[in-house]
Every structure is written in structure tokens, then in C-alpha cells.
Amino acid sequence: MTTSTRDRGEEQADPRVRRTTAALRATLIELVQHRDLSRISVADVAERAGVSRSTFYDHYRDVHELAAAACTAMIDELIEAIPRHHPAPPESPPDTLLTFFAHLAEHASLYRSVLGPQGSARVMDHVRHRATVAVYAHRTGAGLPDLATDIPHDVPAAFTAGALLSVATDWLQRGCPCPPAEMAALTLPLLLTLYREDTGRRA
């Protein structure tokens, strides 16, 4: 198995690599809006992005690895956008829940491919971990740590993140039958119940 430039850390060091990988990811996100991921070839992505196939293979093994990279990058950007210091969960639907579901809906075709039964375990684990960090920060009021920072083992945060991912995946696989705002409103009471029970035990 070849080692990608991301694994060697070159993407962070070389602006040209960052531009190329960003262009490839953006191209795939555009293409997947019009056809299934399984019907998109390396040649399709390379031609639309204006690079050669050899350049594509310098960065990714195949379209599925590119899809995984695109999803993990978007999830990181989404989590990074959450304020790093904020109060405990309010009694009204938080913007973060609505933003989360709206983001998934906007890129539903891509996430449906990578989070579905034939999807990427790497993306699933990445989303679960990032969600656990975000829930931990929100639940404890500690502020969102750097994404590279590990957090203490926290059962409520891990449970909540797993449940949220399961709900989101089911929603995606069913074709997003209700709008993001409704999903946020339906999910919030469940999260608040867990939050109240946990704070009650710690009181």
C-alpha cells in the first residue's frame, strides 16, 4: 500500500499540495451532486479538476479514499466553527445541531455513500470521534479543545455522539425525509434528557 502525501504531512507543508487536494475534494463534492459515487471515476475527477491522473494518484489511491478525505476535512471544518467557549446546553435548539444536520443535508449524496453499509469505517470513526469531542466540550462547558487533543474517557459524551451519528446515518439512508430544523428539534430533547440525568448524578 502506498503512503499518501497527507500521511507524510506534506499537505500541511506545501501550499501547492494543499491547493491540489482542495481542488480534488471540491471537484468530487460537485460531481457527487449529480451521480452516485460508484459511478465517478478517477478520470472524471482529474479532468474536471484540471490535473493529470498521475497527479491524482500522487495524493489518493482511488475515488473512495478521496471521498473519505473530503468528508473528514468537512467535518473538521464544521467542528472548528463551533465556538470554543460557550455556556451549558440551553433549553432551545442549539445552532450546532441545526448546523450539523444542515451540513449533512447539503452534502447528503456524499455522506450517504461513505456512512452507508458499504461506506468507510475510517470516516465513521472520524465523525464519531469528532462528535464525541464536541459533545464533551458542550456538556462540560470546558470549551472545544484543539481537534488533535484527546479528551478524558467520558461515557455520556461517547454515548451521545454514537447515538447522534446513528440517528444522522439512518436519516441520510432514508433520503432525509424531514428537514434539518425538524431533525434538530427532534434530537434536542433526547440530548437534554441525557445531559440533565448526568448533571443530576454529578450534583
For 178-190, the pLDDT digits (tens) are 999 999 999 988 8
* 80 and 142, same domain (yes or no): yes
Q: Does 158 fall in a domain?
A: yes
Burial classification of residue 23, based on how many CB atoms lie within 10 Å of its CB (0-12 exposed, 13-18 middle, 19 or more buried): middle
pTM: 0.76
* Separation of alpha carbons 116 and 48, rounded Å: 26
Q: What is the average pLDDT score of the chain?
A: 81
The three cell numbers locating residue 61: 489511491
* 176 and 91, same domain (yes or no): yes
Q: What is the mean pLDDT of residues 183-199?
A: 77
Q: Which of 69-73, 95-99, 117-121, 149-153 has the lowest mean pLDDT?
A: 149-153
Q: How confident is the model at residue 201 (pLDDT cuts 50, 70, 90)?
A: low
In the predicted structure, residue 2 carries a pLDDT above the cut 50:
no
CATH number of the structural domain spanning residue 48: 1.10.10.60
* 51 and 72, same domain (yes or no): no
Where do runs of H (alpha helix) occur along 141-179?
A: 155-173
* Separation of alpha carbons 156 and 135, rounded Å: 9
* Separation of alpha carbons 72 and 83, rounded Å: 19
**Degrees (nearest 5) of the Cα angle 105, 62, 53?**
115
Q: Does 112 fall in a domain?
A: yes
* 177 and 83, same domain (yes or no): yes
* 109 and 47, same domain (yes or no): no
* 85 and 124, same domain (yes or no): yes
Q: Does 2 fall in a domain?
A: no
* 89 and 35, same domain (yes or no): no
Q: Does 167 fall in a domain?
A: yes
* 26 and 92, same domain (yes or no): no
Q: Is residue 11 within 8 Å of 18, Cβ to Cβ?
A: yes
Total domains in the chain come to 2
Q: Does 5 fall in a domain?
A: no
In the predicted structure, residue 76 carries a pLDDT above the cut 60:
yes
The pLDDT of residue 33 is 87
Domain boundaries, position 75: 68-202
The three cell numbers locating residue 113: 455513500
Q: Is residue 148 within 8 Å of 140, Cβ to Cβ?
A: no
* Separation of alpha carbons 20 and 138, rounded Å: 35
* Separation of alpha carbons 135 and 151, rounded Å: 11
In the predicted structure, residue 131 carries a pLDDT above the cut 60:
yes
Q: Does 4 fall in a domain?
A: no
* 164 and 124, same domain (yes or no): yes
Q: Does 3 fall in a domain?
A: no
Q: Does 141 fall in a domain?
A: yes
The pLDDT of residue 82 is 61
The one-character DSSP state at 81 is: T
* 112 and 195, same domain (yes or no): yes
Q: What is the mean pLDDT of residues 31-51?
A: 92
